[in-house]
Amino acid sequence: MDTTKIKQTVKEKYGEIAKQSKEQNQSSCCGTGGCSTVDYAVFSENYNQLEGYVPDADLGLGCGLPTQFAKIKKGDTVIDLGSGAGNDCFVARALTGESGKVIGIDMTEGMIDKARENAEKLGFNNVEFRFGDIEKIPVAANRADVVVSNCVLNLVPDKRKAFQEIFRILKPNGHFSISDVVLAGNLPQSLQQASEMYVGCVSGALQKSEYLQIINESGFVNSKVQKEKLITLPDDILGDYLTPQQIDDYKNSGVGIYSITVYAEKPIDAGCNPETQCC
């Protein structure tokens, strides 16, 4: 698929998901629309132990707990890329407090609407949701203390541009904690070429080594993998794309799909901080 079609497919699929509850997404073996797509809940983590967790905002779409590792402090400005129904934004708000600010960015109108409804019900006046593209984030430069994202950058066609944008919006000495899906080895062609596997966070994933290289080449320092987990796709999902023999070959190939949470910092001398006027 070309870039335009990729983005349109992602918007349509996540627009459908926005209309469903987490229970509906999980009760369908593949997220939405029967068994024609990947199971989004395969990747999700349990948020119940995190302060600020709002079940109504959890659609089971993440692949990690980036806010748990994000070192968010009171008063921080936090930006969540691909904020969905607001799940990670509300956890971030519990950490940054009344004196902080949280901005969620999403390219799906249905998700923005759902997140705003959740924020209004909760009476949160320091949580804002903006419609926008991660390749051109609608935030001025040097505004965020922390950027988080949960299983979203693998959906972005130009991941290098996405990390350049994250670098731009972070304050010098700011940092990100991002959970995402990466690969170790090459997926079978039929999985790579399936649009359903792209919007399901699989076929759009980069090799882990390339992903980490892009982070470093974008100017970030002190990068590290905070958590890593092997993802196992059930046979009933693989069976939509592979023959039984191909499934066996894939399982024995050593190829792995991983959820990783990655941390990195913007150098303190990277440009001007508009709050201190110090370069």
Q: What is the CATH number of the domain that holds 205?
A: 3.40.50.150
pLDDT of residue 44: 66
Least confident of 36-50, 62-76, 224-238, 259-273: 36-50
Domain that holds residue 95: 3-265
Domain presence at residue 74: yes
Please report which confidence band the pLDDT of residue 164 belongs to, taking 50, 70 and 90 as the band edges. very high
Q: Is 244 exposed, middle or buried (0-12, 13-18, 19+ CB in 10 A)?
A: exposed
Domain presence at residue 277: no
Q: Cα 127 from chain centroid?
A: 18
The structural domain count of the chain equals 1
Domain presence at residue 271: no
- The angle formed by the CA atoms of residues 71, 73 and 75, to the nearest 5 degrees, is 150
Least confident of 97-101, 138-142, 250-254: 250-254
Q: Quote the pTM value.
A: 0.83
pLDDT in tens, 76-93: 999 999 999 999 999 999
pLDDT of residue 19: 64
Predicted confidence (pLDDT) at residue 174 exceeds the cutoff of 90? yes
Domain presence at residue 92: yes
Domain presence at residue 275: no
Domain presence at residue 230: yes
Domain presence at residue 24: yes
Domain presence at residue 278: no
pLDDT in tens, 184-231: 888 887 777 654 554 444 556 889 999 999 999 999 999 999 999 988
pLDDT of residue 274: 45
